[in-house]
Homo-oligomer: A and B are copies of this chain.
Amino acid sequence: MRYRLLIDTDDTKGLVYNISKILFEYALNIDQNTEFVDKLSNKFFMRTEFTGKIEKSKLLSDICAVLPTNHTISLKTDEKKNIVILASKESHVLGDLLIRYESGELQANIKAVISDHTETQDLVGKFGIPFFHIPTALHTREQHEKLISTAIDQFDPQIIVLAKYMRILTPNIVKTYRHKLLNIHHSFLPAFIGANPYDMAYSRGVKVIGATAHYVTDDLDEGPIVCQDVIHIDHTYSSSDMSKAGKNVEKIVLSDALNLLLEDKVMVHNNKTVIL
């Protein structure tokens, strides 16, 4: 079985030596090893991919023994993760995830799609994935989120992807799924936070538009950024042309970010991501 060891700890001398000593003693086959030291905060990050036969808890406790007190460690396998997708009316990002899923590009099981609208129901149905329509009418915001939450929890997903889900989540749900909510925003953040970024981009007369995949936090569009990219536009683009042209970059930025999460390559630190 293939494992991914993730360590996030205060930096101290000899960490690589001490950790690699243990991995060596366990006779593991290291396939990939990446470290990063953030000098400003004196933090050490490490991701190691290895194969071998291990007793997980024993390996972890052996490594913990050589780390400074203040650390986080996790050991994951490369099994497919369960994910749940939240969507609204727009189908392009959702559809792109579905077709990548179908072709085996995603190392994930899409367990369900939840939407506050019905526009994407038929599309989701084609792929044999459960679709939950949870309309907002007749519910308070809290009630609506409670229903969403209940639907999500049936599947115990490691990642919840907001594929153009157009409602702002409350602090409560953000807290419940901390570091599990991945959103795609259709601008190069921090520019054009909030609703209708293409309209804002049009008004400002920018020459690039973009998309940003980020973790959701309580501050709208201000969570840790995982991926972002831009495309060039010119004066002939209306806001609606930008919206069309931006679809490709939205799709790719989100699926790139999702792949990084699925491969356990993303660690969060100081509202930023370290990608190893």
Q: Say which residue of B13, B91, B189, B234 sits within 8 Å of A103 (CB atoms).
A: B91
Contacting residue for A205 out of B24, B35, B271, CB 8 A: B271
25 interchain pairs (CB within 8 A)?
A: A13-B24, A13-B29, A14-B20, A17-B24, A30-B37, A32-B37, A34-B34, A36-B235, A91-B103, A92-B103, A92-B105, A95-B103, A98-B99, A99-B99, A188-B230, A189-B191, A189-B204, A205-B224, A205-B271, A206-B228, A207-B226, A230-B230, A235-B272, A235-B273, A248-B255
Query: 10 closest pairs, A vs B, by CB?
Result: A205-B272, A17-B20, A17-B24, A191-B191, A126-B126, A95-B99, A99-B99, A14-B24, A235-B274, A16-B20
A243 shortest CB reach to chain B, Å: 11
Residue pair B95, A91 in contact (C-beta under 8 Å): no
List A residues 80-121 near B (Cβ within 8 Å): 91-92, 95-96, 98-100, 102-103, 105
User: Does chain B have a CB within 8 A of A157?
Assistant: no
Category for how many chain A residues contact B: 35 or more
CB–CB B126/A273 < 8 A: no
In the complex, A27 has a CB within 8 A of chain B: yes
- Taking Cβ atoms with an 8 Å cutoff, the residues of A that contact B are 13-14, 16-17, 20-21, 23-24, 27, 29-40, 91-92, 95-96, 98-100, 102-103, 105, 123, 126-127, 188-192, 204-208, 210, 224-230, 232, 234-236, 238, 244, 247-248, 252, 255, 270-275
Contacts of A32 in B (CB 8 A): 37
Residue in contact with A208 in the complex, picked from B33, B91, B210, CB distance below 8 Å: B210
Main secondary structure of the interface of A (DSSP, over half): mixed
Query: Which of B23, B192, B207 contacts A17, CB < 8 Å?
Result: B23
Q: A188-B188, A235-B274 are in contact. List 18 more A-B contacts (CB 8 A).
A: A13-B29, A16-B16, A16-B24, A17-B24, A21-B21, A92-B100, A102-B123, A103-B123, A126-B126, A188-B191, A188-B206, A189-B204, A205-B270, A206-B225, A208-B228, A230-B230, A234-B275, A235-B275
